[in-house]
Amino acid sequence: MSADQMTGGKMSITSNFIDAGGVRTHYWEAALHKVGAPVLILLHGGGAGADSWGNWQDCFAHFAPHFRVIAPDMIGFGKTDKPSPDSYVYDQPGRNRHLIDFLDAMGLSGVHIVGNSMGGATAIGVAIERPELFDRIVLMGSAGLPIPEKPSPQLMHNLQYDFTMDGMRRVIGGLTAPGFVPSDEMVKYRFDLVDDPASQAALAAINGETRKGTLNYPEDAVRTITHPVLVVNGKEDGVSILPRAYRFLELLPNSWGYIVPHCGHWAMIEATDDFCGAVNRFLKAA
C-alpha cells in the first residue's frame, strides 16, 4: 500500500545536499507529515553498492505518514563525498563524526534512528558519544560487536567484491536469505554505484578497516546506552548472525527484540511490510 493510499495525501521525496563538517553530504527527505512530526533518520549499511535509496526506497511510504523521514548517504557511499583514502581514514569513528556533523548541520537532536548493519554500528557510536541526539533507536542486522569472531562466508562476498555484475550478484546473495532473487535493476543499480575510481577506492578502504574490526565497541560502552532500542534481525542473516542480536539484547538495558523469519540481512527489502510495521509500532510508542 502506498503512502497516498494510507493517508489520502501526496508524498514527495526530494534529493538534497548539505555541508556536514566539510563533507558534501547527500540525503533524501520524504514528506507526508504534519508540521512538527518527529524526525526519523534511516542509515544504510556498508555493502558494495550500498546507499540510502537502495536501502530505504520501499520504506519511505510506510514511515512518511508518521515522521519527517531523512535518509543520508554515509561518507564514501552514494552521492556523498568520497575523499581519497590518502587523506581520510574510512573507519567507524570517522562515520560517527560524519553522522554527528550531519545532525548538527541539519539542526537536529532527539531524533529516532534506524541503522542497518554498518549504519547500526554508527548509531551505536553516536548514542555513546552524543546520547542527546537520539530518542529511540532501531538496530537492524547491526554491526558493533565481534560476533562472529571472523567474517562469515556471506560477508566475504562483499569484502572480496571484484567489481563485476556476477560479483554483485554474489554480494546480494550473501546479504539475503536463500531463495531471494534480485531484479536485474537492483543488481545494475548497485553495480553502477561503485563503477568509478573514487567509489572503488573508498570501498577498498572501508573493507580494509572492516577487516581490522573497527566497527566493534567494548561491551561496557554498549551497556551505557539507555535509550529504548529495538533489535531487529533476520532469522537467516549470515552477516549479522542471531547470537549478535541476542548479545545486544543482553547488553542494552531498555531493549526489545524482533526476529524476522525467512529473512537475511535486508529486512527492509526482504520483508518490508513486516519490518516497517514493527518499527512504526515501536517508534509510535514513544
Give me the active site residues, please: 117, 237, 265
Beta pairing, strands 68-72 & 134-140: unpaired
Cα separation, 18 vs 59, in Å, equals 23
Task: Spell out where 167-272 has E strands.
Answer: 229-234, 255-260
Cα separation, 213 vs 7, in Å, equals 44
Per-residue burial over 119-141, b if 16 or more Cβ lie within 10 Å, else e, is: bbbbbbbbbbeeeebbbbbbbbb
Contact 234, 209 (CB under 8 A): no
Cα separation, 28 vs 104, in Å, equals 17
Cα separation, 46 vs 200, in Å, equals 13
